[in-house]
Structure 1
Amino acid sequence: MRWVTYDAGEGVRTGILDGECVRGLAAGTSLAGLLRSGSLDEAGADAVRAPTEVRPRSEVRLLAPLPRPPSVRDGLCFLDHLRGCYRALGREETLDPVWDRTPAFYFANADGIVGPYDDVPVSPGSTMFDLELEVAAVVGRGGRDLHPERAEAHIAGYTFYNDWTARDHQLRDMAQGIGMGKSKDSAITLGPALVTADELESRRRDGRLDVEVTATVNGTELTRGSLAAMDWSFGELLAFVSRGTDLTPGAVIGSGTVPGGCLLEHVDTADIAAFAGWLQPGDVVELGAEALGGTRQTVRPAPAMLPLRTGF
């Protein structure tokens, strides 16, 4: 099933996409609540058999399937993405062996979630604004210290994850050395739907999902790749993330960027600040996949940045 959160002008509702219509559940029902109660399958059957309302998709506004998830973590499971970033920054592309020992992740901003068709303003003060093509797993059944061979059974489904990034702010974050800060803080796109894990099971190949995804900017394809190329599987990522801590239903965990799926990897100048390809107001960014649907968002000007001190 393809679960959506939507607004048809009468408040936020939850339902499933069925072709070109949305089959909605009763007001007050939320995808987060269904995940917490473990009743997603039962509610899906209700939406098919006896929906509270049925609306044409064209008449509703699709929001992020989980507008405020309990937590968001972003992994780095495609090591060729990291190599591409290092190359753009003029760094040695040979990775430290630590990258082969455990997957990496950071905590992202659950308050920064935006919908699949929402406009996205440039981060305040940024002149190097970027997209990142990712897919997120959403936890359905909670757990702790998960086994890597069984962890994927805890995934309710998958959705697109666009990790909008201010690269100039990221350089400062990296220099400060305590993790991602304002570079990753302004927006994370989820959507258009939470596609349940069973819908993608036929695409499983050697422990990975062979799901082809694309990113385009102003109609020009930036990259095309598959989740089958992940160096760390979702099962391994969830097992690592859950070590010594609880994963709760509704938690969002990003795959990391599909190789070539950000502008940084396409920088063609030694001075990355002079790169002409950074996102500008009016640019249209789309993520797409047959299996997941598509997002389409327009970049808008940054709000004014209030200085902390003179010159900063």
Structure 2
Amino acid sequence: MRIARWTDGDQTREGIVVEDAVVPFPDEVTVAGLLAAGLDAARAVHDRMLTALAAGAARATPLDEVALLAPLVPASIRDFVAFEEHVEGVSASVDGKSEVVPEWYEAPTFYFTNPHTVRATGVVVPIPQTRRLDFELELAVIVGGVAGSTGESLDVAGAAAHIFGYTVMNDWSARDLQSREMKVRLGPAKGKDFGTTLGPWIVTADELDRYLDDEGLLAVRAEVYVGGTLVGEGLVSNMGWTFPELIAYASRNSIVVPGDVLGSGTVGNGGCLGELWGRGVDIAALEPGDEVRMVIEGVGEIVNIVGERMPAPPLPPARPRPRARHR
């Protein structure tokens, strides 16, 4: 099952994708509502809609006649760094030394990014004042509701039950801004929060079950193209942790809720330019007008054009203070 959001003229609609067309939900159904209700409820709605479509009681609109939106409004976005190969390459580009620190193996690390700057496939993505613009090719998992579960401190089996589906994710990155702020040992922040692409739709978990290997990892191929040229490719099953393990860790002493998005982190072997730079590949940073296309087997593809650099109001540097203890 594929679940999407789109604009049709001046109206925003939500529904399912059937072959090469979209079919709107009945009036009482929403993406957010289905995520909260869980996969079984979503399947029931899907079956009901197919019956209505076959009977002529529902209308399908060709995909090429609508503009897809991001397939959900995320409750939050956590982005992990789950590929060892990616860490090796990026560490060399940042520190000049290719390494994976021992702490990486101990637990899956993530950061929170901005759910309010999510972009859809097909749109131009405005960027900050950066000369080191990069992409990050990722598969994201979408959390759904489970009856009787609060989403708190889940074990791996409980976390697996919360997997509603998957979507393609591009974690846009301004590497020069990111490098500066990471030297303060906090972040990333402004190097990331200007844009994340999600799409083209949510593919429900059952659609990808056939790709699960013996370790519970998704053996799907992921590719990224810049201007039509393949620059990175890999298997999502090269992750150091499964998606249920990522969700379980995210929920530890915390909570995950329906609509949360968890990114896998950058797929290794050229899933971002930073990794290629670290491996000595001579490839230019992204510039306005560049096209970035990402394809993940069994899920779909997203395409964006890099927009113009956005001017930002000036901000003064920190004021040196005398460190007085009394007025």
Is 1:154 the counterpart of 2:162? The answer is yes
Is 1:246 the counterpart of 2:255? The answer is yes
Flag structure 1 segments of 5+ consecutive residues without an equivalent. none
* Aligned partner (choices 43, 46, 51) of residue 45 of structure 2: 43
2:3–2:71 contact (8 Å) kept in structure 1: yes
Letter in structure 2 aligned against 1:105: F
* Aligned partner (choices 261, 266, 271) of residue 271 of structure 2: 261
Is 1:282 the counterpart of 2:289? The answer is yes
> Are residues 306 and 269 of structure 1, via their aligned partners in 2, closer, same or farther at CA, if it must alter by over 3 Å?
farther
Whole-Å separation in 1 of the counterparts to 2:105 and 2:157: 18
TM-score (norm 1): 0.93
Letter in structure 1 aligned against 2:47: A
* Larger mean Cα displacement after TM superposition, 159-168 or 276-285: 276-285
Is 1:72 the counterpart of 2:92? The answer is no
Whole-Å separation in 1 of the counterparts to 2:6 and 2:28: 12
After superposition, give the CA deviation of every residue in 1:38-91 in whole Å (9 maximum; x if it has no partner): 33222222221225431111111111001x211110011102101100122243
Is 1:305 the counterpart of 2:305? The answer is no
Instruction: Give the drift of 1:93.
Output: 2.4
Whole-Å separation in 2 of the counterparts to 1:96 and 1:20: 46
2:108–2:249 contact (8 Å) kept in structure 1: yes
1:81–1:265 contact (8 Å) kept in structure 2: yes
| Counterpart residue number, 2:301 | 294
Count of residue pairs brought into register by the alignment = 306
Is 1:234 the counterpart of 2:240? The answer is no
Flag structure 2 segments of 5+ consecutive residues without an equivalent. 318-327
Is 1:22 the counterpart of 2:22? The answer is yes
Instruction: Give the drift of 1:293.
Output: 1.1
* Larger mean Cα displacement after TM superposition, 81-90 or 37-46: 37-46
Instruction: Give the drift of 1:164.
Output: 0.2
For the residue of structure 2 that corresponds to 1:6, the secondary structure is: strand
TM-score (norm 2): 0.88
Whole-Å separation in 2 of the counterparts to 1:165 and 1:113: 13
| Counterpart residue number, 1:137 | 141
After superposition, give the CA deviation of every residue in 1:69-116 in whole Å (9 maximum; x if it has no partner): 111100111021011001222433232221111000011101011101
2:113–2:193 contact (8 Å) kept in structure 1: yes
After superposition, give the CA deviation of every residue in 1:140-173 in whole Å (9 maximum; x if it has no partner): 1251211124422210000001000000110111
| Counterpart residue number, 2:206 | 198
Whole-Å separation in 1 of the counterparts to 2:60 and 2:279: 52
What's the C-alpha RMSD, in Å, of the aligned pairs?
A: 2.0
For the residue of structure 2 that corresponds to 1:183, the secondary structure is: coil
1:76–1:256 contact (8 Å) kept in structure 2: yes
For the residue of structure 2 that corresponds to 1:247, the secondary structure is: coil
After superposition, give the CA deviation of every residue in 1:1-23 in whole Å (9 maximum; x if it has no partner): 01111111141111111111112
Instruction: Give the drift of 1:308.
Output: 1.0
2:200–2:301 contact (8 Å) kept in structure 1: yes
Whole-Å separation in 1 of the counterparts to 2:223 and 2:49: 30
The 5 A counterparts of 1:78-93 are 78-93=83-98
| Counterpart residue number, 2:176 | 168
* Larger mean Cα displacement after TM superposition, 219-228 or 86-95: 86-95
For the residue of structure 2 that corresponds to 1:89, the secondary structure is: helix
Letter in structure 2 aligned against 1:54: A
Instruction: Give the drift of 1:231.
Output: 0.8
Letter in structure 2 aligned against 1:244: N
1:203–1:209 contact (8 Å) kept in structure 2: yes
